[in-house]
Amino acid sequence: PPDVEALGRSTWTLLHSIAASYPEAPSRAQQSDLLGFVGLFGRLYPCWVCADDFQAYMARRAPPVASRREFGDWLCAAHNDVNRRLGKPEFDCATWEQRWRSGWKD
| Contact between residue 71 and residue 100 where contact means Cβ atoms under 8 Å apart | no
Q: Of 28, 14, 17, which is closest to residue 103 (Cα–Cα)?
A: 17
Q: How far is the CB of 22 from ligand FAD (least distance, A)?
A: 14
**DSSP letter, residue 94:** G
Shortest distance, CB of residue 28 to ligand FAD, whole angstroms? Answer: 26
Question: Residue numbers of the site for ligand FAD (CB under 6 A)?
Answer: 4-5, 8-9, 11-12, 16, 49-50, 53-54, 76, 79-80, 82-83, 86, 88, 91, 96, 99, 106
User: What sign has the CA pseudo-torsion 9, 11, 16, 21?
Assistant: positive
Nearer to ligand FAD, 29 or 89 (CB): 89
